[in-house]
Structure 1
Amino acid sequence: MGSKEEKVWLAMRVTYRREMLARQILEEEGIENFIPMRYQLSKEKQKKRELVPVVHGLIFVYTRLSDIQRIKKEREVPYLQYMVDSRSHEKIVVPEDQMRRFIAVAGTYDESLLYFQPEELNLKKGTRVRICGGEFEGQEGIFIKVKGARDRRVVIAIQGVIAVAMTAVHPDLIEVLDH
């Protein structure tokens, strides 16, 4: 048999706020996926907390390209589209270790997490760090000042897609990494 196609994390767009429908189809097909979510009070009279996408239209899919192409065709899912890097015009593939770090943080639904579009942050000004204790122990990111926060935060970024800034981390729990 020839070379086996590898599974990759794809950053994908979902049009018309159909993220949850796309997620359902992917899960029916046994395909791992991740939508960054947060709690928000509903707009109804009986206000209740509900989980909603942080960014409408964004889903990460862990699959082989051939599988997602088959599903898009067979299940008629034209609203699930590849995100493309503006410079290289290639599909955005997220390295697995970076995606797992992002999921480990964003998947907590912690209400103090801040989300940013990539162009909102200058990660070059930050310092690469590892957290050495607490809820996010072992996570690595960039330690920088972000708008909307008094102190510096550790940020995990998915290049060209989204970034998440963690809650304030005590300086004693941060280890600086070499560049």
Structure 2
Amino acid sequence: MESVEATLPRKEQVLWYPMRVSYGREEAIKDVLDNLSVRNFLPMQRLRGWIDDDGEPRQRLVPAIRNLIFVNASQQRITELKMYNKDCQPLRYMTNPFSHDDTDYLLTVPNHQMENFIRVASVEDDRLLYLDPNVEYLNKPGKKVRITDGDFKDAEGVIKRIKNNKRVVVEIQGVAAVAITYVPSVWLEPID
């Protein structure tokens, strides 16, 4: 049975859009979108390594991927926000350079793929390593696996060799990639 959402024109379908945000304003845009009740995702990571004036080690959360936020809304809604809300003007659509069709020009991320990425990237953990999605070793084949236990349970990824270690990589093709630095092999289930 076809969903009602699939019958709408593409501009009216609620999809995940990876969007560029200029000048490091990701957190400010996230706050604006949260206040407007627009679903979004900003991958964060813990930054450590400085000592405050009292000699105490400090850490803080920072965006894991600079100048990128994922917005879950219709293209029409995002365009309206960009036009009529000055705080949303820094949002920029990412485009598909290989598209020859107006309906596929703007990059979108399938729901299943985005939920899988969120499942992994929302865990604030030192075991995550954010990667440049355009590096060559991500194009090499690997074994698809599902994690069956632990913090990353039900996440699906591909085993890749990164920095001389095997890691489970969850990738949004050409947009973002995150590697889990250690998952016990008994928690990995091969999938087709």
The TM-score normalised by the length of structure 2 is 0.84
Q: Is the 8 A contact 2:147 2:187 kept in 1?
A: yes
1:71 aligned onto 2:63: no
Gap runs ≥5 in structure 2: 1-6
Task: Please state which structure has a larger fraction of its residues in helix.
Answer: 2
Shift of 1:165: 0.5
- Aligned pairs (5 A) from 1:167-178: 167-178=181-192
Structure 1 unmatched runs, 5+? none
- Residue 17 of structure 2 aligns to a residue whose secondary structure is strand
Match of 1:143 among 159, 163, 167: 159
Per mean C-alpha deviation after superposition, the further-off stretch among 167-176 and 38-47 is 38-47
1:45 shift after superposition: 3.6
Find out whether 1:28 has 2:22 as its counterpart. Answer: no
8 Å CA contact 1:35–1:53 kept in 2: the answer is yes
Letter in 2 for 1:167: T
SS in 2 for 1:93: coil
Tell me how large the CA RMSD over aligned residues is.
Answer: 1.9
Structure 1 segment 73-152 matched on structure 2, within 5 A? 73-76=83-86, 77-88=88-99, 90-120=105-135, 121-147=137-163, 150-152=164-166
Change in CA separation of 1:73 and 1:130 when aligned onto 2, cut-off 3 Å: same
1:37 aligns with 2:53: no
Query: Which segment drifts farther, 70-79 or 41-50?
Result: 41-50
1:39-80 deviation digits (Å, cap 9, x = unpaired): 113757445211000121000000011111111111023311
Moved over 6 A (4+): none
Range moving further from structure 2, 119-128 or 129-138? 119-128
**Secondary structure in 2 matching 1:94:** coil
Which residue type is aligned with residue 67 of structure 1? R
Alignment partner, residue 50 of structure 1: 60
Q: Is the 8 A contact 1:72 1:78 kept in 2?
A: yes
Q: 1:16 to 1:157 in 2, by over 3 A?
A: same
CA shift for structure 1 position 16: 0.7
Rate the CA distance shift 1:130–1:17 in 2: closer, same or farther, 3 A. Answer: same
* Matching residue of 1:157: 171
Question: Normalising by the residue count of structure 1, what TM-score does the alignment of the two structures yield?
Answer: 0.89
The 8 Å contact of residues 117 and 171 in structure 2, kept in 1 or not, is answered as yes
